[in-house]
Amino acid sequence: MTRENTATNRKTPSSSTGMQQLTSAWLRASGHLANSVLEANRATLAALGLSDGDQSGEVELEPSVESVAYDDSDWTETRTVDASENINPGDTVTFSKTISDEDVRAFAKVSGDTNRLHLDETFAEGTRFGGRIVHGTLVSGLISAALARLPGVTVYLSQDMRFLNPVQIGSRLTAEVEVVEALAEDRFRLSTTVTNADGEAVIEGEAVVLVDSAPDHVE
């Protein structure tokens, strides 16, 4: 499981490799969700708190919130407001998902954070945690996922957070954001919390976001 330092031989791309690249690009452009394309995008999806959620490798393309690009059968979400112009203090949004081993490994690859604490069970057993844990920044990504489910288009301006408890791989987590204060020019201050299945907080913090109305041409 530990990555070895090995030299990679560089080869001149063959014509068949070029054809594969063209084929892959065509598939992406045409919107086909073939397995080859899904595998290429999986790491990016995981970094955003997205996962295929089942063994079929299929991502559902009918999100329950208009501003969100993808949804998944493993995810659950709630919100108390459906229009950006109606956001007020007290409004909340939640987003829940299970952090899988696949999520952790994909995040390590896309982020470059290959700390053995997250990837090597034998190594991690000798640490204070007694085993592998989820990257803290992957856990905090669920806050961003919850913010994406606010109505309109949400833009992060700042985020402060405290990491309170480690997260075991396979844990189901829930991120909740609550509007605390309406600021000038469509800006809002929110409390941000991530809890585990036992209701124990693993992250607490505060964010400031800008919320624009959705573009008029979006159906």
- Write out the residue range of the structural domain in which residue 30 sits: 15-212
CATH number at residue 163: 3.10.129.10
What letters, b where the CB count within 10 A reaches 16 and e where it falls short, cover 77-91?
Answer: bebebeebeebeeeb
pLDDT of residue 26 exceeding 90, the answer is no
Do the domain assignments include residue 157?
yes
Show the tokens assigned to 195: 């809890």
Do the domain assignments include residue 47?
yes
The Cα 56–Cα 192 span in angstroms is 32
What is the count of structural domains for the chain?
Answer: 1
Do the domain assignments include residue 190?
yes
pTM of the model: 0.72
Do the domain assignments include residue 80?
yes
The Cα 111–Cα 182 span in angstroms is 33
- For 30-43, how does the pLDDT look when each residue is reduced to its tens digit (9 = 90+)? 443 334 334 444 44
- For 181-192, how does the pLDDT look when each residue is reduced to its tens digit (9 = 90+)? 999 889 999 999
> Taking the chain, what is the end-to-end CA distance rounded to the nearest angstrom?
46
Do the domain assignments include residue 76?
yes
Do the domain assignments include residue 155?
yes
| 123 burial via Cβ count (<10 Å: 0-12, 13-18, 19+) | middle
- For 8-25, how does the pLDDT look when each residue is reduced to its tens digit (9 = 90+)? 444 444 444 554 554 444
